[in-house]
Amino acid sequence: RNEEWYNRGEGYEHCRPHAILYNAVMDAIARSGIPGAGQRVEKLLEEMEDMYQAGADEAFKPSRRSLNAVMLAYRSEVDGGAKAEYILKRMEELSAVGVYDVMPDVVAFNTAIGAIVRSDDAVNAANRSQALLDRMDELYASGHHLARPNGLTYAMCIEAWLKQQDEVGQKMARQLLEKFFSMVDDNEDVFLETAPVLNVMRAYRQEEDGVREGGP
């Protein structure tokens, strides 16, 4: 609607759409859960990119928030995990060539991992989530501090491994748990991020107890 008013010409310059407005609308659609949210948000991102590239207008320059909104919008769809992985890769590529400064941060990675963990393919979900966690560690070690994994990252990856319900999954979940709490010992700030991890472990133990109680 803002774009319609702006296109009417003189007197409506204040209605000119810009990245802040686009991001707000994209985020609202992404969180609405309405059918087709992913495609709608991705279309808005394409509009931003077209306008920015046409005139190099900073007012339409996409940001991390723009691409995060696309991943968030796709999170509940069948191919949401694959779409999120594609967008993460694209964010790194765009940053590498200097198009946009959208190197994925912990929010972007967590959004992608969350979409993957929601998938029904438990084995691949665990491996794919682990691959993203490993990539976050690489980026953080190389100086990209915004990619540091947090408690939510570890909680989702642990959940993915536990969902496998096999020895490999148990082993990987235990290793991630030990790694996370070693981080807590080394960095007091990480202590504030323990809640998501503890919640996952508590839920898993309750589920195991329920299975034992209902067993033969």
Structure tokens at 137: 């560690």
What pLDDT was estimated at residue 10? 45
Q: How confident is the model at residue 206 (pLDDT cuts 50, 70, 90)?
A: low
- Amino acid occupying residue 133: L
Return the structure tokens found at 95.
């940053």
Which pLDDT band holds residue 209 (cuts at 50, 70, 90)? low
Enter the pTM of the model.
0.81
Query: Mean of the pLDDT values across residues 38-65?
Result: 86
CA–CA distance, 117 with 102 (Å, rounded to integer): 24
Cβ–Cβ under 8 Å, residues 64 and 108? yes
